[in-house]
């Protein structure tokens, strides 16, 4: 099912499972959190670590409370943490989904934006698409303004969501789709992806190097792709409070608490800024962090 950006599919799912319980990674992308909350969905956060969603925490969440309507996961280059679920954990997650008859939404807009390493199998590939819905979009690989996203849905859900979609917009915008089609037909997709990978890979490297130099006492994720690095400052640091002074210093980030993360965490985006801005931004941020770091 094609949607006007993949986020719109999340709105349809939230409508379909209104008032249900949805498991999400802690932290996770803030917009789905807001969409789900606005639809009266009970949100159950499930812990993650450097290897992605923690299967024991998932098992625990499945064993308590109302049966979840679905699990929302971003297994590759997660927004906001940049973390990727390990292959072993992917197998375990699929096993748990089957055992508990748990529908899963695998949101994967960043998977192709990989700078190094080998791609692990998607949950959708491992499971076969009966329980796992796969969503992605052309926002990160062509342009976000086109608003072309898509969902690969299990048959039953497809009919229900299509009915919701038709009563919302009749059809997703054809001009955006035609533009994507033409882009693909002309063979521009692969070269553009290479361009994106090379530009953004250099930005990721610049941010990792700057963090190494400027914030040696902090921890951060080391993503092999995507847009984001997850910064963990020492306990007691409050990145929400630090945001004002950071803005005055001309640097910004999103506090981890906005994504359901701990107060000492922050999402740093390297995708939209130049190499020099990245170096300077990290330098200015580091100057604001308590000296004990
Ligand atoms: C994890 C995730 N899902 C979905 C989206 C939204 O993508 P789209 O532009 O296709 O709506 C984003 C965009 O930032 C994202 O990070």
Give residue 157's pLDDT. Answer: 93
Across residues 146-169, what is the average pLDDT?
94
For the cut 60, the answer to whether the pLDDT of residue 292 exceeds it is: no
141 Cα to the center of ligand 1, angstroms: 12
76 Cα to the center of ligand 1, angstroms: 13
74 lines ligand 1 (CB under 6 A): yes
Give residue 293's pLDDT. Answer: 47
Give residue 176's pLDDT. Answer: 95
Distance (Å, whole) CA 211 – CA 193: 26
Give residue 291's pLDDT. Answer: 60
5 lines ligand 1 (CB under 6 A): yes
139 lines ligand 1 (CB under 6 A): yes
Give residue 283's pLDDT. Answer: 97
Distances (CA, A) of 59 to 28, 64, 70, 124: 18, 9, 14, 19
For the cut 90, the answer to whether the pLDDT of residue 156 exceeds it is: no
Could you read off the pLDDT of 197-244 as tens digits, one per residue? Answer: 999 999 999 999 999 999 998 999 999 999 999 999 999 999 999 999
Give residue 255's pLDDT. Answer: 98
Average pLDDT, the chain: 96
pTM metric for this prediction: 0.97
**Which DSSP string do the residues of 10-78 spell out, in sequence order?**
HHHHHHHTTTSEEEEEES--HHHHHHHHHTTPEEEEEEEETTEE-HHHHHHHHTSSSPPSEEEE--SS-
Could you read off the pLDDT of 265-275 as tens digits, one per residue? Answer: 999 999 999 99
What letter would DSSP give residue 258?
G
For the cut 90, the answer to whether the pLDDT of residue 290 exceeds it is: no
Ligand 1 pocket test, candidate residues 1, 13, 137, most atoms within 8 A of CB: 137
Percentage of residues in the chain with pLDDT exceeding 70?
99
81 lines ligand 1 (CB under 6 A): no
7 lines ligand 1 (CB under 6 A): yes
Cross-strand partners of 132: 104
Give residue 174's pLDDT. Answer: 95
């Amino acid at each position: 099912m094609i949607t006007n950006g993949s986020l719109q599919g999340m709105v349809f799912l939230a409508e379909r499972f209104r008032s249900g319980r949805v498991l999400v990674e802690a932290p996770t992308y803030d917009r789905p959190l807001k969409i789900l909350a606005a639809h009266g969905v009970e949100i159950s956060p499930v812990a993650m670590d450097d290897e992605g969603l923690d299967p024991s925490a998932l098992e625990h969440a499945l064993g308590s409370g109302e049966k979840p309507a679905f699990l929302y996961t971003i297994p590759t280059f997660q927004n906001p943490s940049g973390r990727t679920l390990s292959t072993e954990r992917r197998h375990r997650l699929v096993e748990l989904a089957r055992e508990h008859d748990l529908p899963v939404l695998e949101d994967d807009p960043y998977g192709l934006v990989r700078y190094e390493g080998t791609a692990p199998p998607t949950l959708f590939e491992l499971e076969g698409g009966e329980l796992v819905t796969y969503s992605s979009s052309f926002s990160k690989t062509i342009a976000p303004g086109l608003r072309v996203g898509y969902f690969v849905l299990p048959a039953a859900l497809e009919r229900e969501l299509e009915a919701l979609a038709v009563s919302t917009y009749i059809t997703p915008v054809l001009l955006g789709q035609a533009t994507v089609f033409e882009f693909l037909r002309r063979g521009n997709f692969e070269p553009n992806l290479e361009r994106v990978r090379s530009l953004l890979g250099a930005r990721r490297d610049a941010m990792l190097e700057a963090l190494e130099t400027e914030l040696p006492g902090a921890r951060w994720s080391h993503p092999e792709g995507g847009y984001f690095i997850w910064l963990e400052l020492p306990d007691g640091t409050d990145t929400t409070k630090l945001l004002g002074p950071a803005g005055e210093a001309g640097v910004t980030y999103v506090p981890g608490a906005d994504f359901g993360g701990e107060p000492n965490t922050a999402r740093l985006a390297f995708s939209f800024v130049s190499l020099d801005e990245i170096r300077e931004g990290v330098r200015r941020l580091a100057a604001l962090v308590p000296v004990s770091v």
